[in-house]
Amino acid sequence: MPHLLSEIQRLTHHPITMKSMSMSRMAILRTMFLFSACIGIGFACGDDSSLKEVFRHHFMIGGALNDELVSGKDPQAAALVERHFNSITPENVMKWEHLQPEPGKFTFEAADRVVEFGVKRGMFIVGHTLIWHHQTPSWVFQDSNGKPVDRKTLLKRMKDHISTVVGRYRGKVRGWDVVNEALNEDGSMRQSSWMMVIGEDYVATAFAYAHEADPSAELYYNDFSLENEPKRHGALRLVKDLQARKIRIDGVGTQGHYKLDWPSPAQVEQTIEAFAGLGLGVMITELDVDVLPYDIETGAEISMRTEFRAELNPYPTSLPPDKEQELARRYADLFRVFVKHADKISRVTFWGVYDGRSWLNDWPVRGRTNHPLLFDRSYRPKPAFFAVVQTARKIH
Ligand code: G3I
């Protein structure tokens, strides 16, 4: 018991005395749960290491930031970012609908804020994302009569957008997700408006425009579910095609929107090896682990949604210790693979900072309570955090 109390104090930074029971009972109970989850899996909780320090010999550690955090409205989240991350990606504000909502009218305020945030702190800033089928306003694909636009016009719009955006952040944004999610699950090209109007070479053209706008920027293809063989083969084909045309591509981002039971560590490993085998850098770009049940197979396909039902939201307050343990083991398994292949991986970026603001609270079911990241709703490190830290220590 004395050990348990001192562990609680260490974890919470709250001195516990008979007189000052300053923590609420709930907080103490939760911490006891957390402690039991840690000892249940044999990880040393209470280690207040910085992730970017722990993995400094392996890869950069990044996070996706929302505008609230960047503009100072979520200082506790910003403190986590400063302590743990050396790379940032804007979660939403560099998507086309945010940057150019109307033809020729660019709105850079929020994107400027995130770039300034990163530059001030010397972080590696990733631009996300130039060409995506989603969050792109419909005007982009229409002529003045609302009819589908022709190839030449769409190429011009693509070029104007890419050269304006990449040009603005030249030398500050060091890498760009140039094309996002161009593939179907079977590895064929997604029939997006980009594909239907321009044809398959829209991918190569987007990369060429980005390179022209900032020759020193790294350029990436980014997608989810690349751990599944058919889609991975599609991506390999797409990348080889760029390489055959001598188009610059520096890396592939495998998004890493994972579940507790998918993909297997072996699938993750095969994916890293396959892209590295083409001479490319590999990045885990949007890492999170969905712990909630699902009733549809979604990958991370944003267009898929399902209705809220209570049984799809089983942990509305906190994760029970056995699930905390399962999540911690899962993260440890994943990071063991990442550390093993650190020579091929340049960056591991989490899609968010803490559970309270993860996109997975609202997708594919709106209004659930998900627990996919390393920091909980009170900004505290979870057993999964300590498990991840341990993976670096065990190897070095
Ligand atoms: O900000 C508005 C808010 O004012 C409004 O009340 C609310 C009502 O729905 O919507 C809010 O905007 C939402 C926005 O996230 C900010 O939370 C949008 O509806 C919602 O569509 C948007 O979702 C984003 C999604 O991409 C679509 O762009 C997620 O935050 C973002 O995490 C997610 O990120 C994508 C990557 O870019 C690509 N890979 C998959 C990944 C997950 O879908």
Question: pLDDT tens-digit profile of 377-392?
Answer: 999 999 999 999 999 9
Nearest CA to ligand 1 atom 16: 92
pLDDT tens profile 308-337: 888 899 999 999 999 999 999 999 999 999
- Same domain, residue pair 34 and 60: no
- For the Cβ of 96 lying below 6 angstroms from any atom of ligand 1, the answer is no
User: Helices 383-395 and 321-340: crossing angle, nearest 10°?
Assistant: 30
- Same domain, residue pair 109 and 182: yes
- Same domain, residue pair 12 and 52: no
Q: Is the pLDDT of residue 39 over 90?
A: no
Could you write out the DSSP letters of every residue in 49-60? Answer: --HHHHTTTT-E
Mean pLDDT of the 213-230 span: 98
Nearest to 267 by CA among 227, 323, 315: 227
Q: Is the pLDDT of residue 81 over 50?
A: yes
- For the Cβ of 300 lying below 6 angstroms from any atom of ligand 1, the answer is yes
Among candidate residues 7, 181, 301, 326, the one labeled active-site is: 181
| Six token digits for residue 249 | 């591509």
- Same domain, residue pair 368 and 319: yes
Cα 341 to ligand 1 centroid, rounded to whole Å: 31
Told to judge if 181 belongs to the known catalytic residues of this protein, a careful annotator would answer yes
Cα 359 to ligand 1 centroid, rounded to whole Å: 7
- Same domain, residue pair 191 and 282: yes
- Same domain, residue pair 224 and 162: yes
pLDDT, position 173 = 98
Distance CA 216, CA 50 (A): 30
Distance CA 329, CA 11 (A): 20
Percentage of the chain lying above the pLDDT 70 cut:
87
Instruction: Give the predicted TM-score (pTM) of the model.
Output: 0.90
- Same domain, residue pair 202 and 143: yes
3-state secondary structure 160-187: HHHHHHHHHCCCCEEEEEEEECCECCCC
Q: Is the pLDDT of residue 204 over 60?
A: yes
- Same domain, residue pair 251 and 129: yes
- Same domain, residue pair 65 and 77: yes
As a whole number, the mean pLDDT across the chain is: 90
Cα 25 to ligand 1 centroid, rounded to whole Å: 35
- Same domain, residue pair 187 and 250: yes
- Same domain, residue pair 18 and 52: no
Least confident of 6-15, 73-82, 92-101: 6-15
Domain that holds residue 8: 1-42
Q: Is the pLDDT of residue 216 over 90?
A: yes
pLDDT tens profile 253-311: 999 999 999 999 999 999 999 999 999 999 999 999 999 998 777 676 777 778 888 88
Mean pLDDT of the 38-53 span: 71
Supply the CATH number for residue 167's domain.
Answer: 3.20.20.80
Mean pLDDT of the 203-219 span: 98
More confident residue, 9 or 45: 45
- For the Cβ of 301 lying below 6 angstroms from any atom of ligand 1, the answer is no
Q: Is the pLDDT of residue 15 over 80?
A: no
Among candidate residues 91, 227, 286, 326, the one labeled active-site is: 286
Domain count, the chain: 2
Told to judge if 53 belongs to the known catalytic residues of this protein, a careful annotator would answer no
pLDDT, position 48 = 77
pLDDT, position 41 = 53
- Same domain, residue pair 188 and 210: yes
